Structure 1
Amino acid sequence: MILIKKITPARCVAWLILITMLVVTIFPLLFVAKTSFVPAEELYTTSTQLLPDNPTTSNYKKIFGLLSTEESIAAGGSGANINITTSMINSVIFTGIIVIVQTFNCALAAYAFARIPFYGSRLLFGAFVASMMIPSVVTLIPNFVLMRDLGLLNSMLGMVAPFFLMHGFAVFFLRQFFISLPKDIEEAAQLDGANSFMIFFKIALPLSWNFINDGGHFNHH
């Protein structure tokens, strides 16, 4: 038996609000898709139109390197050769390095803040948390100038270096996670002569991995 819900004014208003929110969310994406089919010379004259007057696929051909230098310049480009494969590979390498190295560095710092008391730890941790309030666009130009002065422009190292070490949110998040780990196991390891690095690599990290695999439950066995 199919149940048909009663149509009420409140339900209609709710659906109207949801549809309006959906349109507001999707509309900018539709404009982006429309713009990708607009020729460069009509980019500003048709910016307020929902559909392009003279749709073209030259923008996509330019990305995939299917246009000659002359055709690219005629279409409004600089004529520079674009290799989408190389760009994708560089993006994967860049992302992989950042994810692996930054996560490892943040985990080291977070464990130190969570388990190793030292002078000024609260002040230093507060500085990490405060760094989250600085928009990334503020550090864009200083990072560019620094990489230029170091001679690292147009290199993978120059792109990775500003993000290589630590991120405030990751340190804050991982610190709270390490605090929640059972401390009795670490104290038992200290009694057996394990130092902080051994505890981190042989206890804290394996416990964290088990915590993730067990769906948020610690397994002591």
Structure 2
Amino acid sequence: MSTPFAFDTEFSADGSVVRESAWKPTKRSYMPAEVDALVAHAKLEARQQALAEIDNIRAMALTNIAQGVAAAMPSLRGVAQAHREQSADLALAAARAIGGAALERFPQAPLRAALEALAQEIDASPRLVVRAAGLDDEGRAQIERACADSGFTGVVAFRDEPGMGFAAFKLEWADGRADHDPEGSAQRVAEALTAALAAEAGHAEPPINTDRSDF
């Protein structure tokens, strides 16, 4: 591309042209050091612009992520709550299966444990009434031996209660009573756990414990 001409015009006091000439401006030549400096400056500006753009993109990405997380929190809380409830159901089902198998093999174990725990309370009583369902002679003999092992020297009286569940029993002595119902205990545990999970999620308050002795 050719370099355009420039005009140099001189005027007199009355505005007439005295001299007019044309001249062609010359191109400026740069030293290698100047070229290197210009290139380095251009690279620096380009780098700064790129870094600024990256910062803007990062800030926008973080903002979008934060907004997405905030929008997803209700769903995440629901998923976490459902996971806790399902885990609790699984734990209860496993406990019921293990407890049921243990009771099938050792049906008198809860009664023996109760007699051992209540040994000091029933020791001075002359009579202990045991209420249970379907006790045969062998079962009654086992209970009598358990009473003797716990130190009870009074009379053991048995009362058949057909309406009571498997391995459930009631003990009555002069100044107290105690009872155990595996099915009822499991139900109360399930209800307490459900109420605790609901309270954790902010939907209910945990239940107040009732005043009764369970073994």
What TM-score do you get using the length of structure 1 for normalisation?
A: 0.26
Higher strand proportion = 2
Higher helix proportion = 1
What TM-score do you get using the length of structure 2 for normalisation?
A: 0.27
